[in-house]
């Protein structure tokens, strides 16, 4: 008879433990931390040909800038042996072959040293994609 009482107490304790675990899990799901869009926040400023600007803020876990820009459909480009060549930003196309225009990348105020697909993304970074037109330096062509 004592064995039945012990078994009932053990079973009761197990049921109580399972109920307690279910309540804790339920509370964590309801009130616990929510997943975020990304662990890094970056800002991208686009400078169009007419010098108007547009700012975009993204939360991301991407390792490289091109991943963020493609994912958010901000850029289009062509793959080459040197990496991604950005041709269109925010709907505006730059055509180097027609008028010498291209999209340059600035990172935290400095001219970028990498293409978009090789440019690392760090929390708090500010990027600028600027429409620029190549101008040959006429001073080097002057006769002495």
Kind of pairing between the strands at 40-47 and 53-60: antiparallel
Dist CA 49 CA 84 (whole Å): 21
* Residue pLDDT, tens place only, 51-79: 999 999 999 999 999 999 999 999 999 99
Strand spans (E) along 20-93: 40-47, 53-60, 75-80, 83-89, 92-93
Global pTM?
Answer: 0.70
User: How does residue 128 score in pLDDT terms, banded at 50, 70 and 90?
Assistant: very high
Helix H or strand E segment including 104: strand 101-107
56-69 burial by CB neighbour count: b if 16+ within 10 A, else e? bebebebebbbebb
User: How does residue 8 score in pLDDT terms, banded at 50, 70 and 90?
Assistant: confident
User: How does residue 135 score in pLDDT terms, banded at 50, 70 and 90?
Assistant: confident
């Amino acid at each position: 008879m004592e064995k039945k009482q012990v078994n009932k107490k053990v079973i009761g304790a197990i049921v109580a433990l399972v109920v307690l675990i279910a309540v804790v899990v339920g509370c964590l799901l309801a009130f616990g931390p929510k997943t975020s869009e990304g662990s890094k926040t970056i800002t991208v400023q686009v400078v169009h040909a007419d010098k108007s600007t547009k700012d975009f803020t993204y939360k991301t876990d991407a390792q490289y800038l091109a991943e963020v820009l493609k994912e958010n459909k901000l850029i289009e480009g062509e793959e080459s042996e040197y990496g991604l060549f950005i041709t269109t930003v925010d709907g505006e196309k730059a055509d180097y072959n027609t008028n010498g225009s291209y999209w340059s990348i600035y990172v935290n105020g400095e001219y970028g040293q990498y293409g978009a697909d090789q440019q690392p993304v760090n929390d708090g970074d500010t990027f600028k994609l600027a429409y620029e037109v190549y101008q040959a330096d006429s001073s080097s062509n002057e006769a002495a």
